[in-house]
Chains A and B, each alone.
Chain A
Amino acid sequence: MTAIFLRELNSYFISPIGYVYLAAVYVLAGYEYAILILGGSADLSNEFAFLYTVTLLLTPILTMRLMSEDKKQKTEQALFSAPVTSGGIVAGKYFSAFVVYLAGVAITLLHTVFLAPYAKISWMIIIGNYVGIALMGLAGIALCMYISAQTENQIVAAVGGLAAMLLVISLNSLAGVIPFEPVQKALYAISFYSRYHNLTLGIFKVSDLFFFISFAAVFFFLTTRVLEKRRWSGK
């Protein structure tokens, strides 16, 4: 698993994907930060709220070649015949994407540190934001990784991931317009937004933490199943 993790992490920076992803996150986060500062506000929650959309929309870029490339280049045969489980293969890839994701959102740490001498920072809220964005990353990457495992085409993986993430982002608004209460409740329950929003306010609810982690676990597990299935069907 460590070998796969290190190789995947390395490959983000052999290809331009890692750089492009980080540059995009840094520029967009910086843009929002600049707006905040120029507006005279020190409430970083706004920046995190903005990052909610940015990180979710950019996650498919991180994951598009994660599973699909091995299938296309037939390199998965090296992984399958090595003493490593499907879970180990998926975990190595998954956490490499997560590390790049964290490297992206870590820019806000600098933003916070630079702001600290000039404004009163509510650290609990900042920590809540970090926990929230990290958990959301775990969930989003797992979903997009699962989509990447379905195809051997990076573009298909990226577009599929993007569609899924747009759905995830808009679930909250969708729930708002549904007049049928049980459905509305169900949609709110699986919406990332309200749970993430709680965390950005510094409210830690076990159910929210549990939601993101179990969401990630489900798609992680499904991805390992896809690998196993390929072994059975040979496709």
Chain B
Amino acid sequence: MIEVRELVKKYGNKTVLDHVSFDVKDGEILGLLGPNGAGKSTTMNIITGNLAATDGTAAIDGHEILEEPLRAKKELGYLPEIPPLYVDMTVKAYLSFIYRLKKCKLPKKEHLEEVCRAVQIIDVYDRVIKNLSKGYRQRIGIAQAMIGNPKVLILDEPTVGLDPKQMIEIRNLIRSFGKTHTVILSSHILSEVQAVCDRVVVINKGKVIADDTAENLSGHLNGRRLRVKVEGPQKMVEEGLKTIPGVKAVYPIVCTEPGCCAFELHSDEHTDIRRQTSAYFKASPWLLLEFTEAEISLENIFLKLTDSKGGKK
């Protein structure tokens, strides 16, 4: 449905995208994951025809965005980073404008109401956008992308500015939309991508560093990491921890509690070191105060992915 081939974007000498390629199949929800400034928005702007690539192509439904822009955009709904709202219009007037702009053929009143109900903005339908909160504006932005029931939805950080309840609702909405449509969404929140997306493309510094299913990616990275807080002398505890079978590395982490020290224990992907660690402390003279499986954060993913890339070289 969406083909992105070897996209390169340069601003002068600065390379923002460096040969980015990926495909999105019909009915798939793809997550673009990456830190701020990784090139997620740039990629999306290129796919949607807002920005021209220095090199490479992007096509929607077989229509290249620069060659056949009108055909490609016909099946496209886009929520940019900043929702493109005319703030002095009412929600109704604005969505009617978008409806006409997209040359939508669906029955107007029913369709607009359906979209508004889906993103829950029906209660502000007649209000002027500039008087609405960030959460509402974001949802109006999602609504305008959904108008015309496009085959492809491209959402740049769709849950920014929403409260946790709204976040869950919007994620559910995207999931249900993704059953019949193709969706690309960007995020820097790993759990969001895991909750919503079938597949994840990780971008860092303009390069694709991973392209896999969310399960595989997190499974692969579930390289066991344990955090422990121990009452005892740091040096000796660290030496001791290194002797636990399966532990590959021990990193001291910040601990402010007096008389205590904390560590992160790394093992390889297939080894569960929880039992050995627990058994070790049972036999040791030190007291174990905390024992948690470290959450895999986006930073961990990047460390891991960039590490393994570096290792190959």
Residues on A facing B (Cβ under 8 Å) = 2-4, 6-7, 10-11, 14-15, 73-85, 231-234
Chain B positions within 8 Å of A75 at CB level: 84-86
Report whether over half of chain A's contact residues are helix, strand or loop; otherwise say mixed: helix
Q: In angstroms, how far is the closest chain A Cβ from the Cβ of B34?
A: 18
Taking a contact as CB atoms under 8 Å apart, the answer to whether A73 and B100 are in contact is no
Q: Give residues in B with beta carbon < 8 Å to A.
A: 9, 11, 42, 45, 48-52, 69-71, 73-74, 76, 78, 80, 82, 84-89, 93, 97-98, 100-103, 144
Question: Is there an interface contact between B84 and A14, defined as CB atoms closer than 8 Å?
Answer: no
Residues of B within 8 A of A233 (CB): 11
CA distance A14 to B100 in the complex (A): 19
Query: Do A85 and B73 touch across chains, with their CB atoms under 8 A apart?
Result: no
Between-chain CB contacts (< 8 Å), 27 pairs: A3-B101, A4-B101, A7-B86, A7-B89, A7-B97, A10-B93, A11-B88, A14-B89, A15-B88, A74-B80, A75-B84, A77-B78, A77-B80, A78-B80, A78-B101, A78-B144, A79-B101, A81-B76, A83-B69, A83-B71, A83-B74, A83-B102, A84-B101, A85-B69, A231-B49, A232-B52, A234-B11
Q: Which residue of B lies closest to A92 (CB)?
A: B101
Q: Which residue of B lies closest to A3 (CB)?
A: B100
* List of A residues within 8 angstroms of B93 by Cβ: 10
Chain A residue, CB-CB nearest to B75: A83
- The CA of A36 and the CA of B101, in the complex, are separated in Å by 47
* Residue of A whose beta carbon sits closest to that of B78: A81
A163 to B101, CA, bound (A): 34
Q: How far is the CA of A77 from the CA of B101 in the complex (A)?
A: 12
Chain A residues with Cβ below 8 Å from B71 are: 83
Give the one of B78, B89, B97, B101 with max A CB within 10 A.
B101
Known: A7-B86, A83-B70, A231-B50. 13 other contacts (CB 8 A): A3-B97, A7-B97, A73-B85, A74-B82, A75-B86, A77-B80, A78-B84, A81-B48, A83-B69, A83-B74, A231-B52, A232-B51, A234-B42
Chain A: minimal CB distance from B284 (Å): 58
Cβ-defined contact, A80 with B74, below 8 A: no
Interface centre among A2, A4, A75 (most CB of B within 10 A): A75
Q: A10-B93, A83-B103, A234-B11 are in contact. Are A73 and B87 (CB under 8 A)?
A: yes
Known: A3-B100, A82-B73, A83-B103. A77 touches B84 (CB 8 A): yes
Rounded to whole angstroms, the CA-CA distance of A6 and B87 in the bound complex is: 16
Distance in Å: Cβ of B160 to nearest Cβ of chain A: 14
In the complex, A6→B48 CA distance in Å?
A: 24
**Bound complex: CA of A74 vs CA of B86, how far in Å?**
9
Shortest Cβ gap from A117 to chain B (Å): 43
Within the assembled complex, what's the spacing in Å between the Cα atoms of A165 and B80?
36
Give chain A nearest CB distance to B310 CB in angstroms.
Answer: 30
Known: A82-B73, A85-B69. A11 touches B86 (CB 8 A): yes
In the complex, what residues of B have CB within 8 A of residue A79's CB? Answer: 84, 101
The list of the 5 closest CB pairs from A to B, nearest first, reads A3-B100, A78-B84, A81-B78, A3-B101, A81-B48
B76 nearest CB neighbor, chain A only? A81
Chain B proximity of A4: nearest CB distance (Å): 7
**A-chain residues with CB within 8 Å of residue B70 when the two chains form the complex:** 83-85
Least Cβ–Cβ distance between B309 and chain A, in angstroms = 28
